[in-house]
Amino acid sequence: MIEVAFFYDELVRQGTDFFTGIPDSLLKSFCAYLSDHTEERHHIIPANEGAAVALACGYHLATGKIPLVYMQNSGIGNAVNPLLSLADPQVYHIPLILLIGWRGEPGIKDEPQHLKQGEVTLALLEAMNIPYMILANTEGELSRQLTSAYQRIAQTKAPYALVVPKDTFAPYTLYKTLSSPGEMSREEAIEEILCSSDPGELFFSTTGMASRELCEVRDRFQMGHERDFLTVGSMGHASQIALAVALHKPDRLVTCLDGDGAALMHLGAMGIIGTRKVRNFRHILLNNGAHDSVGGQPTVALQIDLPAIAKACGYPGVYSVSTRAALAALAAAKLEGPTFIEVRVHKGARKDLGRPCLSPEENKYALMRVLKGHNP
């Protein structure tokens, strides 16, 4: 395994001193090290991977240096536009290092939402004419790889990708952590919401721990899973999936359980929800100010006023709570939507948190049967 301090020092030795991206589970040690050892203006966690590429391009314009953009391979989709229409040699010729966590690597066991992305990761880079190498897990070989990569960038003045397999980086624990508000954990908040809400309500949960916790709470209370859609991939899109269902099933109560990192990634979704005036829709945002599923790196969600944004977007009912009693009262209330409820929770999840018991396809068909009126 590679010590992240060694990797960081090698990058700095090559002239890279600006880092931006969206945290990833395979890169979480490196991301944590950046947060602990890099000046704030030299390390920015933006809303999404496309914004990270744009920030890196701006840094190169200002300094002439080679920045680094990190992401999970699922984030390549968000980054394609600026990589091809901004940084590409046929446009602005911007040199970048892309550090990409290889979830779903063929032959390595992983979750269903990562398998296709893992299969096509290298092919996507090839289709974009972005040269790459798979990062070695020994320090001597890694040094040689970085020297070769920077030599190639010096020749091409274009992006170059380092693809990171599982267990490449040695563990590193973030020590610069921000305090999280709220008396509840995210799982406790989900439990209170489910137990206080209409038993027939449909729930659409965001990527990461929230979906796993929703599944666990259902099991704990023997509620069944057929009224839930676990958005295990497509970070930031759960609210739009839920909105479309609410619009086309106006007799059904629909709730989106969102996360702060996911909501920030595609914040424009709130404008669409607010202007549609769909009365049977609740948007509950579980805000702990962190990318909790991938190492606890901070988001800006505790530094901005998300309820004020929701109000400006047109949600007629906007609330913010941080106690279990206040959440229970709101969850049980018959509010005309679209309603926005920010629930401030603290970071962290149980170590023994399980995985969904249904495959994504089984989850889909169980929900569709309920939507067609075949209630169990």
Residues 143 and 198 in one domain: no
pLDDT digits (tens, 9 = 90+) for 58-105: 999 999 999 999 999 999 999 999 999 999 999 999 999 999 999 999
DSSP-derived pairing of the beta strands 43-44 and 19-21: parallel
Which domain, by its residues, includes 277?
186-371
Provide the pLDDT confidence category of residue 57 given band limits of 50, 70 and 90.
Answer: very high
Residue 280 resides in a domain: yes
Residue 170 resides in a domain: no
Question: What is the CATH number for 70?
Answer: 3.40.50.970
Residue 172 resides in a domain: no
Percentage of residues of the chain with pLDDT beyond 70: 98
Quote the Cα angle for 345-256-267, to 5°.
Answer: 80
Q: What is the mean pLDDT of residues 31-51?
A: 94
Residues 140 and 278 in one domain: no
DSSP H or E run through 132: strand 132-134
Residue 253 resides in a domain: yes
11 vs 297, more confident: 11
Q: What is the mean pLDDT of the chain?
A: 93
Residues 202 and 324 in one domain: yes
Residue 367 resides in a domain: yes
Q: Give residue 346's region: left, alpha or beta (phi > 0; psi -120 to 50).
A: beta
pLDDT digits (tens, 9 = 90+) for 276-296: 989 999 999 999 988 877 777
DSSP letter assigned to residue 17: -
Q: What is the mean pLDDT of residues 154-174?
A: 95
pLDDT for res 105: 96
Q: Is residue 172 scored above 60 in pLDDT?
A: yes
Is the separation of the CB atoms in 364 and 219 below 8 Å?
no
Residues 129 and 258 in one domain: no
Residues 135 and 218 in one domain: no
Count of domains for the chain: 2
Residues 194 and 150 in one domain: no
Residue 9 resides in a domain: yes
Residues 191 and 322 in one domain: yes
Distance between CA atoms of 291 and 275, rounded to whole angstroms? Answer: 28
Residues 206 and 69 in one domain: no
Distance between CA atoms of 229 and 137, rounded to whole angstroms? Answer: 38
Residue 104 resides in a domain: yes
pLDDT for res 357: 78
The type of residue at 196 is S
Q: Is residue 361 scored above 80 in pLDDT?
A: yes
The type of residue at 124 is L
Given 132, 164, 196, which residue is the final one in a domain? 164
Residues 85 and 156 in one domain: yes
Residues 54 and 142 in one domain: yes
Q: Give residue 174's region: left, alpha or beta (phi > 0; psi -120 to 50).
A: beta
Residues 108 and 195 in one domain: no
Distance between CA atoms of 277 and 291, rounded to whole angstroms? Answer: 30
Distance between CA atoms of 118 and 124, rounded to whole angstroms? Answer: 10
Residue 19 resides in a domain: yes
**Strand partners for 319:** 341
Q: How many CA atoms lie within 13 A of 225 on its CB side?
A: 24
pLDDT for res 24: 93
Residues 153 and 190 in one domain: no
Distance between CA atoms of 229 and 206, rounded to whole angstroms? Answer: 9
Cβ-proximal residues to 319 (8 Å cutoff; 6+ apart), any chain: 307, 330, 339, 340, 341, 342
Q: Is residue 122 scored above 80 in pLDDT?
A: yes
pLDDT for res 374: 60
DSSP-derived pairing of the beta strands 290-291 and 297-298: antiparallel
pLDDT for res 321: 96
